[in-house]
Amino acid sequence: MLFHDTQFILFFVAVFLIYWAIHHLRTPRVLFLLAASYLFYMGWNAKYALLIGFQTISDYYIAYWLHRLENQRARKALVAASVIINLSILSLFKYFGFFAETVQEIGRWFGWEVIPARLNVLLPVGISFYTFQCLSYTFDVYYRKIQPARNLAEFALAIAFFPQLVAGPIVRGAQFLPQLESTPRFNLEQFRSGLQLFFIGLIKKVVIADTLAEMIVDPAFKSPALASGPHLLLAIYAYAFQIFCDFAAYSDMAMGTARMLGYELPLNFNLPYRAQDLREFWRRWHISLSTFLRDYLYIPLGGNRGNLFKTCRNLMITMLLGGLWHGAAWTFVLWGFYHGLLLVLQHLWDAWRGTQPAAPDPDENDQAWCSSWGALLRVGITFHLVCLGWLFFRAQSFADISLILSRILSWAPGTAEVFIRERGLWFMLLAALMHFMPRHWVRSASGWIARRSPEFQGAMAALLIGLMGIFATSNHPFIYFQF
């Protein structure tokens, strides 16, 4: 079930009506949402729901004992058990094939014929997300940042809550569990804003991301040898907007869906291409993952508390693992390495200049990115550096990366088979406009819609769905489902 499927809409309408009918009863409410979430997941694969169930139960009881025990060694052993269980499952399903192929490849270099064992299993959708959620809960209980969940059902709901189950954001226990404490009240304003957010996500996904994929990105990356240099260059820029619109769309829809049910999920994207440097980019891009990596990997490794070398090492390890989290392929590791390298260089530059790295607050000034020519230049440079990273992220192999780069640099002509469809350019422009327009425009548009009558809003929703049907190319799954 995809968020932009009719099936999901009908599923959600049913869940919404039943949920608000029983919302005042705590246990039935939680159990109902839990059942709906598992049903949602089982729509993809029923067997893998057992996997989530297993990870949930194991982490619930580990956290339960972590909270009760005082013995530090025993507590450390329990955390280690949680890490081993969760990462073993993740490695088995996501990385086993990758490790096996790597071993085979290394063997081939030495002239050995290694035939590794193969696991013919599907990658469970959302495994990276819910595994990290389980881990963050255990860590938070270990560090005594939060109280453990009141019961298994509530914890299971926090992990499997269907809006964020398959593609994030990575919601921490501290962000979700307290929301279960109070009885939600239906709030019309909240509902309207949730619905609006859902529609914004739908437009980003169906109209922009899928069209960019179909018109510009996929043809170029599928046959880079046939695409022209300019097309490949444009495809990288288009991919930057495609992946943003695709992933941000999922987050918007997840937030909108949850908001309509009375829950708030954390913001996952904050207009990342307005960032003036790489550090700010990672404060705006996939915020739930970057904060997870910062809090549970970078800081425990020592963060920036040690000398310059240790800080750079920690940065690099964090980004390499962040890259690997995205996918089981060396291209993702390269992408992580590239970002790690850029962050290290930025850190070294700051150290050389003797400036303390400021922590830019993305919300501080909406128009900071275009407040001066210098700021605009920094935004431009950061955007291009990020785009180069997207090439490593999107390309199928190292050979493709070098082919694409060489074709772009030589401005190679393409064949008639692969060409840019002009409509894609208009949608790229639309994506850029949506990204860089002032926030208050969005706020006033949304306020204007909210002030209209329900009939007007209903008709607008119908028209939007109709328009999406026209512009929809084909039913692409969300990119981040593969992670």
Active-site amino acid positions:
326
Q: Which of 326, 304, 327, 324 is nearest to 314 (CA)?
A: 304
* Contacts to another protein by CB under 8 A: 5-7, 9-10, 185-186, 188, 191, 222-223, 416-417, 419, 421-423, 453-459, 461-463, 465-467, 469-473
Q: For another protein, give the closer residue by CB, 185 or 443.
A: 185
Q: What is the dihedral of CA 154, 155, 157, 163, to 10 degrees?
A: 130
Q: With respect to another protein, which residue has the nearer C-beta, 5 or 363?
A: 5
What 8-state DSSP symbol labels residue 482? Answer: G
Shortest reach from residue 264's CB to another protein, in Å? 19
Residue 363: count other Cβ atoms within 10 Å of its Cβ.
Answer: 11
CA dihedral 305→307→358→284, nearest 10 degrees, is -70
How many CB atoms within 10 Å of residue 120? 5
Using alpha carbons only, how large is the chain's radius of gyration in Å? 23
Nearest of 161, 209, 235, 251 to residue 390 by alpha carbon = 235
Q: Provide, rounded to whole angstroms, the least separation between the CB of residue 189 and another protein.
A: 10
Nearer to another protein, 16 or 65 (CB): 16
Residue type for 74, please? A
Q: How far apart are CA 27 and CA 33, in angstroms?
A: 10
Structure token pair of residue 266: 């954390």
With beta carbons less than 8 A apart as the criterion, state whether 387 and 240 touch.
yes
Residue 349 CB, shortest distance to another protein, in Å, is 43
CB of 416 to another protein, least distance (A): 8
Q: Which is nearer to another protein, 222 or 439 (CB)?
A: 222
- Measured between alpha carbons, how far is residue 120 from residues 92, 93, 96, 123 in Å? 11, 9, 10, 10
Residue pair 23/262 in contact by the 8 Å Cβ criterion = yes
Distance between CA atoms of residues 203 and 465, nearest Å = 9
Which residue, 54 or 456, has its beta carbon nearer to another protein? 456
| Closest CB to another protein among residues 6, 151 | 6
- Which CB atom, from 359 or from 416, has the smaller least distance to another protein? 416
Q: Say how far apart CA 414 and CA 416 lie, in whole Å.
A: 7
423-429: long-range contacts, CB 8 A cutoff, minimum separation 24:
423/211, 423/215, 424/211, 424/212, 424/214, 424/215, 424/216, 424/238, 425/216, 425/234, 427/207, 427/208, 427/211, 427/212, 427/215, 428/212, 428/216, 428/234, 428/237, 428/238, 428/241
Strand (E) positions, 275-365?
none
Considering the complex, state which of residue 6 and residue 365 has its C-beta at the smaller distance from another protein.
Answer: 6
One-letter amino acid at 88 equals S
d(C-alpha 399, C-alpha 102), whole Å: 16
Closest CA to 239 of 389, 382, 381, 390: 390
At position 182, the amino acid (one-letter code) is S
Q: What span, in angstroms and rounded, lies between the C-alpha atoms of 229 and 225? A: 10
Nearest to another protein of 270, 457 (CB atom): 457
- Token duo for residue 322: 């962040």
